[in-house]
């Protein structure tokens, strides 16, 4: 057992007055010091709201690493004697600007900086992406690392930091997205078995005088042009220890960073040493050569069932695709006799393998990827319901698996499951669907938080485009979610394969193509 520390996240509003924002930052630092915080994380773009008249304005309101803004922060930090992370837009040579997280040591010195790797929307017009990975800083508190907002909506930046030994990930956010707190923040902790301390904003994210006109121009209701709050501190098992509401708040929790050194699952699997880096090469390749051709119908009826006898029941009820829980394995030949027309059934077939079966027999059989002597590829099948794959839940704890599947142009993944940890079905499967824009049908015989899940992509997705099926509701990427009940064991819903073709969450921000592929060497090397 290591030393327990007191971690904090400060949630507050940041406007377009740099001096007022500085005063608020200092005020929050002092308040956290008064509550004996050892580590404090502040939100993204704490110097100015992320809205600029032009490039000149963005440069004007940015800060210098050795300027008066950072000097005032350093003074406040030295007075409370804690480690503090603040994210600002920072002036760089040749009038460039980066979104940069800055780690201040207790004496006020800068212990490390990390530039944002994944920009979203109009940030691409004003900010430069990171050209090198941020540091993992070894401190008396533990090994700390930083990322910001969109960096954590997809898995690669936090994954690389964890693989490089980070114990505590400090995430500064500037987000309206309700699903960022519900999904992406806690899953980044659980999939890497690290601590995450995340600080978001509250209040308007754009100048208040522009809220009405921007709302009218974009069809985004005014209430969603504000920080979503939901700052949180998450344990390595995905448990949220502290979570803020929607207003100004400082949250705190006692954490032991050394617990992040234990990467073992309940079955003894070490999630880092069991990785298959040789498989992950496409994740670190240039997306320009990875064009995705995704097709399929708008709507497909899908079912997740617990028992073999329920397969015929689901098919008779009109399901096109049925997924059977892993501990109710059935012989493919027996399943084929139940199938009529083009319907498909996915089931476990022994030794961690899963198969997709049609009436004429097995379509694909996927051997496990992360078991000893595992498969060297992900099998896919083009069907009347789009391109599909079948994976076991043991492989889906590795974020690289779903990334590779998405890069194969898969629109739906079927998962016969027997979950070992609560986070897998509570947030993990839903987040995997969200960050890759792939439908997932997971069948489990368990109840409660480990029960069956159907994650169906929303048809409306890209920010600032016309939404036809629903009003903008504050969700950036979350799918529609259906969950199994403890009774009955048959879960039926509608998934949307064609929706997997749209992975652009905002202008110039593609969930796959915008990954920081030049900085992903830790993912494709041995641990």
Cα–chain-centroid distance for residue 508? 18
Query: Which residues are bridge partners to 254 per DSSP?
Result: 6
d(CA 353, CA 357): 13
Supply the angle between the helices 185-192 and 156-163 in degrees, to the nearest 10.
Answer: 30
CA dist 299 to 253, 293, 324, 391, 413, Å? 44, 18, 20, 22, 15
Ranges of the chain with pLDDT below 50: 1
CATH topology of domain 293-502: Nitrilase/N-carbamoyl-D-aminoacid amidohydrolase (3.60.110)
User: Same topology for domains 5-261 and 293-502, yes or no?
Assistant: yes
Confidence at residue 21, expressed as pLDDT on a 0 to 100 scale: 98
d(CA 9, CA 197): 7
Q: Note the pLDDT tens digit of each residue in 352-395.
A: 999 999 999 999 999 999 998 899 999 999 999 999 999 999 99
Neighbour count for residue 64 (Cβ, 10 Å):
13
Confidence at residue 486, expressed as pLDDT on a 0 to 100 scale: 62
Give me the residue spans of the domains in the chain: 5-261, 293-502
Q: Note the pLDDT tens digit of each residue in 239-261.
A: 999 999 999 999 999 999 999 99
Q: Note the pLDDT tens digit of each residue in 396-420.
A: 999 999 999 999 999 999 999 999 9
What CATH homologous superfamily does 5-261 map to? Carbon-nitrogen hydrolase (3.60.110.10)
Contact in structure between 295 and 225 (CB atoms under 8 Å)? no
Least Cα distance to 105 among 135, 84, 79, 80 occurs for 84
CA 115, 70, 165, 6 dihedral sign is: negative
Neighbour count for residue 239 (Cβ, 10 Å):
13
d(CA 371, CA 47): 48
* DSSP assigned state of 130: P
Cα–chain-centroid distance for residue 268? 25
């Amino acid at each position: 057992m290591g030393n327990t520390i007191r971690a904090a996240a400060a949630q507050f509003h940041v406007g377009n007055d740099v001096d007022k924002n500085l005063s608020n930052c200092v005020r929050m630092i002092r308040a956290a010091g008064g509550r004996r915080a050892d580590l404090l994380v502040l939100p993204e773009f704490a110097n100015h709201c992320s809205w600029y008249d032009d490039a000149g304005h963005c440069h004007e309101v940015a800060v210098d690493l050795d300027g008066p803004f950072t000097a005032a922060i350093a003074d406040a930090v030295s007075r409370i004697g804690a480690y503090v992370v603040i994210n600002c837009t920072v002036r760089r040579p040749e009038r460039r600007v980066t979104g940069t997280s800055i780690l201040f040591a207790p004496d006020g010195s800068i212990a490390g900086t990390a530039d944002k790797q994944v920009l979203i929307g109009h940030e691409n017009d004003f900010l430069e992406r990171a050209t090198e990975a941020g540091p993992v800083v070894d401190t008396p508190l533990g090994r700390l690392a930083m990322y910001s907002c969109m960096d954590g909506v997809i898995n690669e930046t936090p994954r690389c930091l964890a693989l490089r030994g980070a114990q505590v990930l400090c995430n500064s956010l500037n987000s309206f997205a309700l699903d960022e707190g519900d999904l992406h923040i806690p899953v980044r902790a659980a999939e890497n078995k690290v601590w995450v301390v995340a600080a978001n904003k509250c209040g308007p994210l754009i100048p208040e005088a522009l809220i009405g006109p921007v709302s009218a121009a974009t069809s985004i209701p005014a209430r969603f042009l504000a920080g979503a709050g939901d700052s949180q501190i998450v344990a390595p098992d995905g448990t949220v220890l502290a979570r803020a509401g929607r207003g100004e708040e400082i949250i705190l929790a006692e954490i032991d960073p050394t617990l992040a050194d234990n990467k073992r699952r309940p079955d003894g699997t070490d999630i880092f040493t069991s990785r298959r880096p040789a498989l992950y090469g496409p994740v670190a390749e240039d997306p320009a050569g990875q064009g995705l051709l995704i097709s399929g119908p708008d709507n497909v009826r899908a079912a997740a069932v617990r028992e073999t006898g329920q397969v015929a029941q689901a098919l008779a009820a009109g399901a096109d695709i049925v997924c059977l829980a892993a501990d109710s394995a059935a012989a493919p030949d027996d399943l084929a006799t139940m199938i009529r027309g083009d319907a498909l059934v996915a089931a476990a077939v022994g030794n961690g393998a899963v198969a997709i079966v049609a009436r004429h027999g097995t379509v694909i059989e996927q051997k496990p990827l992360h078991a000893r002597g595992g498969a060297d590829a992900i099998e896919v099948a083009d069907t009347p319901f789009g391109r599909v794959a079948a994976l076991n839940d043991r492989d889906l704890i590795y974020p690289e698996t779903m990334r590779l599947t998405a890069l194969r142009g898969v629109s739906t993944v079927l998962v016969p499951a027997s979950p070992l940890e609560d986070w897998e079905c509570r947030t993990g499967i839903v987040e995997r669907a969200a960050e890759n824009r792939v439908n997932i049908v997971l069948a489990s015989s368990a109840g409660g938080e480990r029960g069956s899940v159907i994650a169906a992509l929303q048809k409306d997705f890209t920010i600032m485009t016309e939404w036809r099926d629903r009003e903008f509701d504050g969700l950036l990427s979350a799918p529609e979610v259906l969950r199994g009940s403890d009774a009955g064991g048959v879960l039926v819903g509608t998934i949307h394969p064609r929706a997997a073709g749209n992975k652009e969450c905002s202008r110039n921000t593609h969930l796959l193509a915008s990954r920081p592929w030049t900085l992903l060497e830790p993912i494709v090397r041995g641990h």
